[in-house]
């Protein structure tokens, strides 16, 4: 049996470690520096701590949870809404 993912509008920011912007900065999207990560950065998710790489998208889910998504997966899964769609 096959299933289709329900259309859900999400908030997401692309995180870059060198970007000081408050929109993508670590205090805003939940990314923090840690020596426990292979990349040096991580984010707490519902499943525990996950490594974050510069360029990953940080998605805020339907219940306010946050998790990282690799750019290629993000591009295949999501499309940007126009103003009249949001």
Task: Read off the pLDDT of residues 19-50 as tens digits, 9 standing for 90 and up.
Answer: 766 555 555 678 888 999 999 999 999 999 99
Asked whether residue 69 is domain-assigned, the answer is yes
Asked whether residue 53 is domain-assigned, the answer is yes
Asked whether residue 7 is domain-assigned, the answer is no
Distance of alpha carbon 51 from alpha carbon 54, whole angstroms: 10
How many domains is the chain partitioned into structurally? 1
> Cα angle vertex 58, ends 63, 14, to 5°?
145
Q: Are 32 and 39 in contact (CB under 8 A)?
A: no
**Mean pLDDT score, 61-86:** 89
> Cα angle vertex 69, ends 66, 6, to 5°?
75
Q: How confident is the model at residue 71 (pLDDT cuts 50, 70, 90)?
A: very high
Q: Which domain holds residue 71?
A: 16-78
Residues whose CB falls within 8 Å of the CB of residue 18, separated by 6 or more in sequence, listed in order: 54
């Amino acid at each position: 049996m096959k299933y289709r993912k329900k259309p859900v509008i999400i908030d997401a920011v692309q995180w870059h470690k060198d970007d000081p912007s408050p929109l993508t900065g670590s205090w805003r999207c939940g990314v923090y520096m840690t020596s426990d990560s292979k990349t040096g950065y991580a984010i707490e998710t519902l499943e525990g701590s996950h490594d974050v790489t510069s360029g990953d998208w940080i998605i805020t889910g339907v219940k306010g949870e946050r998790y990282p998504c690799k750019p290629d997966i993000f591009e295949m899964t999501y499309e940007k809404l126009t103003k009249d769609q949001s």
